[in-house]
Amino acid sequence: MVIKSAEYLISNVDWEKCPVADKPEYAFIGRSNVGKSSLINMLANQQKLAKTSGTPGKTQLINHFLINKEWYLVDLPGYGFAKVSQSQRRSWEQMIENYLRKRANLVNVFVLIDSRLTPQKIDIEFINQLGEWQIPFQLVFTKADKNTQLETSRNVKAFLNKLRETWQFLPANYVTSTVKKTGRDQILAFIEEMNAR
Ligand code: GDP
């Protein structure tokens, strides 16, 4: 897919205030600092569409972007901050649950996983929650340039094996690096294919 345009539209706490659900939508989520903003910027071919490395936990909003005037890209607030209060966490959970379960045009959630790490409980729990809600998702292993290929593939395998404990079928996954610009074409090809349906 060639990216011809990428525009920021709006940021919301409330899923009901999101743009009219008349276009296919793809959401990105993961632990804070997983590389979500960098990935979104790489996909959209823009340096500053999503903000990179802002103060962790500050951007607790559902951010909508319009790509090629054809589909919505959604930057969801990351999970897993050590420093947020119980009540902040609860409001995040409520906002995300509402958005994920009620947004009618949501085609797929890309869950970002740091490829340098062994399987993290918080990621597995979030994915299992998606399963309970029957939300379609795929995995994106980020920052692949930071390790050797062997280490990255070991971590990917370990993560998928961990999922096998609870999942019969494994989701598709992508290995990405915003430094080496890898994984971009594959993710955009999937989106293009889904948009054509
Ligand atoms: P976010 O908090 O999930 O939006 O993460 P950011 O996109 O702000 O990235 C967090 C940090 O990881 C920043 O310092 C990025 O430059 C770095 N980073 C993100 N993606 C990559 C990557 O693919 N390779 C490398 N080497 N660093 C990355």
Q: Which of 28, 29, 32, 33 has most ligand 1 atoms within 8 Å of CB, for mutation?
A: 33
For residue 41 the two structure tokens come to 């910027």
pLDDT of 94: 92
Q: Which atom of ligand 1 is nearest to the CA of 112?
A: 3
pLDDT of 52: 62
Q: Which of 31, 36, 38, 65 has most ligand 1 atoms within 8 Å of CB, for mutation?
A: 38
- Which residues does the chain have with pLDDT short of 70? 52-59
**Cα-to-centroid distance, 143 and ligand 1 (Å):** 7
pLDDT of 54: 53
Longest dimension (CA), the chain: 44
> Is residue 36 within 8 Å of 44, Cβ to Cβ?
no
3-class secondary-structure state, position 32: coil
**Domain edges within the chain:** 6-195
Task: Write the class of the CATH domain 6-195.
Answer: alpha beta
